[in-house]
Structure 1
Amino acid sequence: MESLLLKARLYRQAWPVIAVIAAVTLSGCESSTAGNNFTPPPQELPVLPVNNTSATTFQEFSATIEGTVNVELRPQVDGYLEKIFVDEGAFVSKGQPLFKINDRSYNETVNNASANVQAAKANVEKAAIEVNRLTPLVQNNVISDVQLKAAQAAYDAAKASLQQAQASGNSAGINLGYTLITAPVSGYIGRIPFKTGSLVGRGEALPLTVISEIKNVYAYFSMSESDFLQFTNQSAGKTVAEKIKSLPPVELQLADKSIYAEKGKIELMEGQFDKNMGTITFRAVFPNEAGILRSGNTGKVRIPHNSGAVLAVPQQATYELQDKVYVFALADSNKVTSKLIHITGRTETYYLVDKGITPGEKIVFTGLDRLRDGVVIKPQELSADSVLKAMPL
């Protein structure tokens, strides 16, 4: 009995402590529940209006560069390469000596042909003397005209032999001249695969070298069938020649992505499509007074197109989903909604758009990775002009 009374007394003494602990526990639970219902404030994101503007876009086509004249030098006679007067990469003028083939045998052939010509001339003179001797005898009926006709035939044969000897002499002289190879045009020397002492000839697969005249250069590029149809539809003029003539000057982007200082002009195109590639080739000419461009260079021909009033959307204000481009537009109550845009062209930093958004509509500029449809934001207004200054078209 005393034990029960003792337990009851201890319970009455501990009850206030238990009540305090329970109150603290309940208070903590209430605070935790209130924390779970807390809504963060809308995130601040920059937005800018999309306005109509004019812009220049470029169609780019891979191109190969060649000199306006590329001449392969090949030997016209056989022999050992005796001298090389120039080095690879050197600039040469028209008529300048380049190579010398050993000419001893050709000199002897010329000397022999010259001797044959002299002998043939002597035979002509001998035959002429015989004709002159027999002519009065026939006229005076001393001998028959048969002898005179025979002498006349011998004279004609001697003249023919002389002509043949002279032709052989001329041929020998031409071959002797071929032993000295000179520059047919002014330009830059290419690779020289032969060295002094090499045996060269007309059957050689490789040329002695290639001379490129690069005061002006050609840039050859190809258009697909769809690009060609777009070109014919958009360019002014009735005929293809008129359309090519109406094209504006074009740019050349070099391999390091820099733009060549001089502008070029598209001159002509091939007469038909390549059946295997489905492309047609065009040629643009660029001035190259400084000699920066060389045959074999590569680059891109850029054809400019001036767009009228279009909507310019910064590329960093867009995102892609399944090969389609979207923006987040600002709607009522500062909610954002995704919109699909239709792109008609592009610059380095902008998309040119004709559908999907309207002039004056505001889009989110940055922070798109943190957004989804219906999210409320706190917009920070940006000026379209300030963005254009920082990011020119």
Structure 2
Amino acid sequence: MKNVLAGLAACLLLIGCSDAEAPPEEPTVPVRIVTIASQSVPNVIELPGRVEPVRVAEVRARVTGIVEQRMYDEGSSVSAGQRLFRIDPRELRASYAQTQAALQRAQATAANARAVVDRYLPLVDENAISGQEYDAALAASREAQANVAQIRAQLEAASLQLGYTTVRAPIAGRVGRAQVTEGALVSQPEGTLMTRIEQISPVYVSFAQAASEVLDIRRGIAAGEIDLDENDRVEVRLTFSDGTEYPIPGYIDFLAYSVDQQTGTVELRAEFPNPENLLLPGEFVRARIFAGQVQNGLTVPQRAVSLTEDGGTVFVVDNRGQAAIRPVSLGAMVDGRWIVESGLRVGDRVIVSNLQKIRPGTPVQVLQTPTGRNAASRQPARKDGAP
């Protein structure tokens, strides 16, 4: 009897030890999910771009002379025709007066020659003079008129040269710093650069896209996989280097039909309104090109994605009712949702809450879905261990 009691005590002790060493069951974590469904998503292409002025004018000297005065504030906005510099006009003014006097002298000579012709005309009919004398007088009159026309043209050229001593803005825009100072000699033959004017409202943003990607877009449009807007315009949005977004969208206004042989890219250009001059020429920006809509696309909320060097990862609920990690390839982010290029399928259940409490293999309990329906709670594992 003592032996039987001792054996029973040993068995109970072994059972107690076995129960104490068994690992506790991992607690179930309540989570919310979104069920992946196909939908129309924007076809977004991200490219680096550079801001360019719509128009650039180099203001150069059109006459030779000494700069007397700068008549604008550097870096200010100027209107077309506004005075920028004044070049000493005295030498050209004297040349103009000299040409004007020559014109008056030529006009007097032409008037006298015409009077001779008028006197000779009745004498020819009376045979008082020969026809040869009349023809010579008529030729002299015509030569005098031609000389008048020539000197009048010279006077007009002198007037233009005199007008060029006041240097004016050829376009409206933002004027740069002066390249010459008062007292500097500027030259018309050399075309001395005096300043530059850039029109920056609106502005252009230029970027280059791989020729193969442009071809894919054209094929998608032709196949009906990409839908443009009702005006067949392609919208572009910009992001500054600090991550902030430019609030006004632009639209593609130029697409080159040739491929750069060195880079294998196609040049594109978009035009943007710039009423507050936030976009500065030469600035690098990040452009997001919304090239229509792609049918049967997939998206996930931003909060569901953990970013990695290779892209991103999400947690999904597998058929065992456990959390499983899934690497995904991400496209652009639109309205707080990542566009998923690969890694997920329609029907996948992506976890969007309590991500910090779960790891691969953690049992989860699905709470209310964003659609307001109560999803099924954690599913029991199959006995055969199949997923």
Q: Shared fold (TM-score greater than 0.5)?
A: yes
Tell me, in whole angstroms, the C-alpha distance in 2 between the residues paired with 1:79 and 1:195. Answer: 13
Q: Does 1:260 align with 2:246?
A: yes
The structure-2 alpha-carbon separation of the partners of 1:317 and 1:47, relative to structure 1 and needing over 3 Å to count, comes to farther
Q: Aligned match of 2:364 in 379, 383, 388?
A: 379
* Pairing of 1:233-382 with structure 2 (within 5 A): 233-235=219-221, 245-304=231-290, 306=293, 310-312=298-300, 314=302, 317=305, 323=310, 327=314, 329-331=316-318, 339=326, 341=328, 343=330, 346-347=333-334, 350-353=338-341, 355-361=343-349, 366=355, 376-379=361-364, 381=366
Q: Tell me, in whole angstroms, the C-alpha distance in 1 between the residues paired with 2:302 and 2:65.
A: 67
> Structure 1 residues 237, 56: CA separation in 2 closer, same or farther (over 3 Å shift)?
closer
Match of 2:185 among 188, 195, 199: 199
Distance verdict in 2 for CA 1:362–1:282, change over 3 Å: closer
Deviation at 1:298, TM superposition (A): 3.1
2:36 is the counterpart of 1:52: yes
Unaligned runs of 5+ in 1: 1-29, 387-393
CA distance in 2, matches of 1:76, 1:284: 34
Alpha-carbon distance, 1:100 to partner: 1.0
Match of 1:61 among 35, 47, 55: 47
Quick one: distance in 1 between partners of 2:261 and 2:98? 56
Aligned partner letter, 2:113: A
Residue 186 (str. 1) matches residue 184 (str. 2): no
| TM-score for the superposition, normalised by structure 2 | 0.74
SS of the residue 2:101 aligns to:
helix
2:109 aligned residue (102, 115, 123) = 123
Taking a change above 3 Å as real, the CA distance of residues 171 and 144 of structure 1, as seen in their structure-2 partners, is same
Q: 2-side partners of 1:177 and 1:114: how far apart?
A: 15
- Please identify which structure carries the higher helix content: 1
SS in 2 for 1:212: strand
38-47 or 146-155, which deviates more: 38-47
Structure 2 CA distance for partners of 1:278 and 1:382, relative to 1, 3 Å = farther
Alpha-carbon distance, 1:95 to partner: 2.1
| AA partner of residue 174 (structure 1) | L
Partner of 1:214: 200
> Which structure has the larger Rg over C-alpha atoms?
1
1:149 alignment partner, SS class:
helix
Residue matched to 1:106: 92
Indicate if the aligned counterparts of 2:297 and 2:339 stay in contact, CA closer than 8 A.
no
Match of 1:174 among 160, 173, 181: 160
Aligned position for 1:18:
none
> Residues of 2 paired with 1:333 and 1:105: CA distance?
97
Displacement of 1:324: 7.2
- Percent identity among equivalent residues? 27
Contact 2:303 2:352 in 1 (8 A): no
CA-atom RMSD, angstroms? 3.8
Cα 1:350–1:293, aligned 2, differ >3 Å: closer, same or farther? closer
SS of residue in 2 equivalent to 1:209: strand
- Structure-1 separation of matches of 2:74 and 2:168: 15
Aligned pairs, how many?
A: 347
Paired residues of 1:215 and 1:287 also in contact (CA < 8 A): yes
Cα distance between partner residues in 2 of 1:314 and 1:290: 32
Q: Which letter does structure 2 place at the counterpart of 1:150?
A: A
Q: Aligned partners of 1:47, 1:185: CA distance in 2, in Å?
A: 62
Shift of 1:368: 10
Deviations 1:259-297 (A, max 9, x none): 122222222222322222222222222222333334333
Instruction: Compare 187-196 and 294-303 and name the one that shifted more.
Output: 294-303
Query: What letter matches 1:377 in structure 2?
Result: T
- Give the C-alpha shift of residue 318 in structure 1: 5.1
| Whole-angstrom distance in 1 between the partners of 2:180 and 2:109 | 47
Task: Confirm or deny: 8 A CA contact 1:251 1:262 kept in the other structure.
Answer: yes
Q: 1:37-92, CA deviations, whole angstroms, 9 ceiling, x for partnerless residues?
A: 67475477675534236555632222222333322211211111111100112122
- SS of the equivalent of 1:230 reads helix
What TM-score do the two structures reach when normalised by structure 1?
Answer: 0.73
Contiguous gaps of at least 5 residues in structure 2: 1-13, 372-387
For 2:57, give the aligned amino acid.
V
Please, which moves more after superposition, 219-228 or 173-182?
Answer: 219-228
- Distance (whole Å) between structure 1 residues aligned to residue 27 and residue 189 of structure 2: 79
Q: Is the 8 A contact 1:64 1:219 kept in 2?
A: yes
Instruction: Provide runs of 4+ in structure 1 moved above 6 Å.
Output: 43-46
- Output the amino acid matched with 2:340: L
For 2:207, the aligned partner's letter is: F
